[in-house]
Amino acid sequence: MATGYTIWLTGLSGAGKSTIATELTQVLSERGQRVEVLDGDVVRTHLSKGLGFSKEDRDTNILRIGWVCDLVARHGGVAIAAAISPYRAVRDQVRASTQNFFEVFVDCPLDVCIDRDVKGLYAKALSGEIKQFTGVSDPYEPPLNPDIVVNTATETLATSVARIVAALEARGYLPAAREAVAALA
């Protein structure tokens, strides 16, 4: 059975986590990987319905996502979590309890995230309409030692994904493209 692993995309709302997850899913699937995406917005409507945005509820949400990621990885799949996951301690807790955890810090300056905000959430948070909004009225604690940092304000999507794929290959989670093609033949 192939070795499973978790790719944990963390960063501010609007940084590009979901966009990277979508593209990364396509690339990994083409390379023969079985991929499941746990997108923070989608998880909140199904797995974590009813949770609010207090620190305790956010931690519970992230721990649930981490548990599912570990389950996927233990069964040889690739779990991609695309969740703000603002608190370092709970991300570290998930890392400690998740097989083959690969953390990607999707770095993007707040002003760029605000400019990208199609839902208008930052405007509502800045006006005080939304309370406890990460990056505005609630903290985001960047990872201290992520496996890789991609900066979506300065890199193209293709560059960010290619860098993540190269890092996964270097770590031994993903066979090099040449090896993957030979294995599929």
Whether the Cβ atoms of residue 56 and residue 72 lie closer than 8 Å to each other: no
Phi, psi (deg, nearest 5) at residue 176:
-55, 150
Among 85, 97, 137, 160, the active-site one is 85
Q: Is 112 exposed, middle or buried (0-12, 13-18, 19+ CB in 10 A)?
A: middle
Is residue 85 flagged as an active site residue?
yes
3-state secondary structure 39-104: EHHHHHHHCCCCCCCCHHHHHHHHHHHHHHHHHHHHCCCEEEEECCCCCHHHHHHHHHHCCCEEEE
Whether the Cβ atoms of residue 138 and residue 111 lie closer than 8 Å to each other: no
Provide the annotated active-site residues. 85
